[in-house]
């Protein structure tokens, strides 16, 4: 199922860019329609319910964060075809940005997940230069009762990660309707809240980066061809098809138009 995407007005984009520069985050309501939210959540729940952790502690800790969702179903990968993503991230990271990671964030009833720690999604602090940004697609309403998400506005301007007590004193609890997209500088300090309700709180998240940076996964090889071959050029670029490295001189000495790493990507 594909929802119809309406181009983001220039006035809204200008506000978005200003918000990203100043407070470090931006909110787009009604980004996904009701049908799309329900479709994605239904497909996602079958993956979440069948999750089997590996032998490492990190795998157990991450049980509410599915890292390979794009491998499971083309509907999730189709999100990368949304032309509005290009509008949103190009002013922040340049037009050739790519995906670092695609993950889910689910908070169980009367519980929390690994995202509940006070943290940033990018370890690098470079003054006046953004290397990573994130987007959260809310598949459920975000409320104060179900954990939502908490942000410390403008914290991307500081190299310091504050204490938990300072964070809780100065953060904002972001509440929004399902279908909302939350975009943020990956240096903004944040955390998922504690879910005090009897229902799950589900969302999808993506971290994006500059095209010259290494991705969390080798997405081109990780995502099955029967999924990636169904995607348009934008989605394939985001996955990393234009930033591959040659593995032989035969691949290196190909005609310009066949290069695995496309030129002039900065």
Q: Which string of DSSP letters, residue by residue, matches the chain? A: --PPPPPPPHHHHHHHHHHHHHTSEEEETTSS-HHHHHHHHHHHHHHHHT----SSHHHHHTTT--S-HHHH-HHHHGGGG-HHHHHHHHHHH-TT-EEEEEEEEEE-TTB--GGGSSB-S-----TT---EEEEEEESS-B-SSS--EEE-TTGGG-SPPPPHHHHHHH-EEE-B-TT-EEEEETTS-EE---B-SSS-EEEEEEEEE-TTSPPSS-HHHHS-HHHHTTS-HHHHHHHTTTBPPPSSHHHHTS-GGG-SB-SS--
Quickly name the fold that domain 24-258 has.
Answer: Jelly Rolls (2.60.120)
Write out the chain's pLDDT in tens, 266 residues: 557 788 999 999 999 999 999 999 999 999 999 999 999 999 999 998 888 888 888 888 788 889 999 999 999 999 999 999 999 999 999 999 999 999 999 999 999 998 999 999 999 999 999 999 999 999 999 999 999 999 999 999 999 999 999 999 999 999 999 999 999 999 999 999 999 999 999 999 999 999 999 999 999 999 999 999 999 999 999 999 999 999 999 999 999 989 999 988 87
């Amino acid at each position: 199922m594909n929802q119809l995407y309406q181009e983001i007005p220039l006035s809204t984009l200008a506000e978005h860019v200003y918000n990203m520069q100043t407070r470090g985050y931006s909110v787009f309501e009604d980004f996904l329609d009701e049908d799309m939210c329900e479709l994605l959540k239904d497909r996602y729940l079958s993956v979440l319910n069948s999750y089997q952790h590996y032998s490492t502690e990190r795998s157990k800790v991450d049980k509410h964060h599915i890292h390979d969702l794009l491998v499971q179903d083309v509907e999730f990968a189709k999100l990368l075809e949304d032309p509005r993503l290009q509008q949103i991230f190009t002013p922040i990271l340049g037009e050739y940005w790519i995906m670092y990671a695609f993950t889910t964030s689910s908070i169980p009833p009367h519980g929390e997940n690994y995202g509940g720690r006070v943290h940033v999604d990018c370890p690098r602090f470079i003054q006046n230069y953004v290397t990573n940004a994130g987007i959260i697609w809310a598949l459920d309403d975000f409320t104060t009762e179900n954990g939502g998400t908490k942000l410390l506005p403008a914290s991307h301007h500081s190299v310091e990660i504050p204490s938990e007590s300072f964070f809780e004193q100065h953060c904002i609890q972001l509440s929004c309707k399902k279908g909302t997209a939350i975009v943020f500088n990956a240096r903004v300090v944040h955390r998922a809240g504690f879910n005090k309700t009897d229902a799950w709180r589900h969302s999808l998240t993506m971290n994006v980066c500059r095209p010259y940076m290494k991705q969390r996964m080798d997405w081109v090889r990780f995502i099955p061809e029967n999924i990636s071959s169904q995607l348009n050029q934008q989605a394939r670029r985001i996955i990393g098809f234009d930033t591959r490295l040659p593995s032989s001189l035969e691949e290196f000495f190909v005609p310009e138009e066949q290069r695995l790493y496309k030129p002039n990507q900065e």
